[in-house]
């Protein structure tokens, strides 16, 4: 069974540029999560989707971050414009149900903003 | 204020010995705890969990202990193997029986198992 796929794996951009990350969850997983992991920290939840509906986006900085999950499968997380402090790893996870111990994480996208 | 604390950023152990990773939490309402393991350039993978109705959960070489009165949990790996070298994250999931999706992670502990 294929795991959670994320692309790109690495991205380097200059500040004020836009950037987008893509996630393909495990087939059949209705719940999708985006996490932010800063260096030396644990992952922090940004947004959770149940199918195509964002049911918790309370931690998403909505002034520059946006996300979508069209058709309830793939998801895209966008930052526009990027700032230096956005340099981090962006992790996508999916689960069959909204149970904590069934979240499967992708490898993440490491973003560097110069 | 951090709700889940892993106070040891790193731990080094000899192969074959026991590794003990510690985690403290502040919210007594937390009732479901998890450990994740993360290799470089990979996402975290679920390792083992424990509900507050238990004080111990075992899975092969991995055992998690929960001390509710001390708000403390620990992960024991016996015997430790070089392949266990990774960052270990303690996490809690608020809600009953892990039904709450929202994981709160500690900062992680880097375990190095030396051959």
Q: Which of A39-43, B13-17, B98-102 has the highest mean pLDDT?
A: B13-17
| B101/A48 touch (CB, cutoff 8 Å), yes or no | yes
What's chain A's average pLDDT?
Answer: 92
Q: How confident is residue A99, by pLDDT bands cut at 50, 70 and 90? A: low
Q: Which of A17-21, B16-20, B61-65, B92-96 has the lowest mean pLDDT?
A: B92-96
Q: How confident is residue B95, by pLDDT bands cut at 50, 70 and 90? A: low
Task: Please give the pLDDT value at position B28.
Answer: 78
By C-alpha distance, the chain A residue nearest B44 is: A105
| B41/A48 touch (CB, cutoff 8 Å), yes or no | no
| B46/A91 touch (CB, cutoff 8 Å), yes or no | no
- pLDDT tens digits, residue range A7-51? 999 999 999 999 999 999 999 898 999 999 999 999 999 999 988
Q: How confident is residue A85, by pLDDT bands cut at 50, 70 and 90? A: very high
Residue B98: pLDDT above 70?
no
Task: Please give the pLDDT value at position A1.
Answer: 65
List chain A residues with CB under 8 Å of B34.
100-101
Q: Which residue has the tokens 């152990």?
A: B13
Residue B92: pLDDT above 70?
yes
B102 CB near a chain A CB, below 8 Å?
Answer: yes
| B101/A93 touch (CB, cutoff 8 Å), yes or no | no
> Do the Cβ atoms of B70 and B96 come closer than 8 Å?
no
Instruction: Tell me the helices (H) and strands (E) count for chain A, helix number first.
Output: 0, 11
The residue with greater pLDDT, A103 or B60, is B60
Q: Is the dihedral of CA A42, B92, B46, A72 positive or negative?
A: negative
List chain B residues with CB under 8 Å of A93.
43
CA B12/CA B10 separation, integer angstroms: 7
Q: How confident is residue B32, by pLDDT bands cut at 50, 70 and 90? A: confident
Using DSSP bridges, classify how beta strands A31-37 and A109-113 pair: parallel, antiparallel or unpaired.
unpaired
End-to-end CA distance of chain B: 38
Residue B101: pLDDT above 90?
no
* Nearest CA-CA partner of A21 in A30, A29, A32, A31: A32
The residue among B21, B93, B101, B104 with the most chain A CBs within 10 A of its CB, best to mutate, is B101
| A101/B34 touch (CB, cutoff 8 Å), yes or no | yes
The set of residues, in sequence order, having a beta carbon less than 8 Å from that of A61 and lying 6+ positions away, is none
Nearest to B42 among A43, A45, A107 (CB): A107
Nearest to B43 among A45, A99, A105 (CB): A105
What's chain B's average pLDDT?
Answer: 91
């Amino acid at each position: 069974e294929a795991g959670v796929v994320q692309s790109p794996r690495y991205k380097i951009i200059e500040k004020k540029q836009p950037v987008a990350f893509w996630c393909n969850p495990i087939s059949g997983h209705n719940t999708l999560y985006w996490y932010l992991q800063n260096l030396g920290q644990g992952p922090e939840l940004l947004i959770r989707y149940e199918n195509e509906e964002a049911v918790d986006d309370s931690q998403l900085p909505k002034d520059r971050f946006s996300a979508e999950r069209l058709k309830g499968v793939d998801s895209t997380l966008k930052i526009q414009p990027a700032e230096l402090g956005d340099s981090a790893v962006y992790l996508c996870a999916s689960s069959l149900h909204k149970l904590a111990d069934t979240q499967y994480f992708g490898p993440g996208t490491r973003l560097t903003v110069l | 204020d951090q709700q889940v604390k892993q106070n040891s950023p790193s731990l080094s152990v000899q192969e074959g010995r026991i590794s003990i990773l510690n985690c403290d939490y502040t919210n007594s309402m937390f009732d479901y705890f998890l450990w994740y393991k993360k290799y470089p350039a990979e996402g975290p993978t679920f390792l083992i969990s424990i509900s507050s109705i238990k004080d111990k959960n075992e899975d092969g070489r991995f055992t998690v202990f929960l001390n509710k009165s001390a708000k403390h949990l620990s992960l024991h790996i016996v015997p430790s193997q070089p392949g266990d070298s990774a960052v270990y994250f303690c996490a809690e999931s608020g809600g009953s029986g892990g039904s709450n999706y929202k994981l709160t992670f500690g900062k992680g502990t880097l375990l190095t198992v030396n051959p």
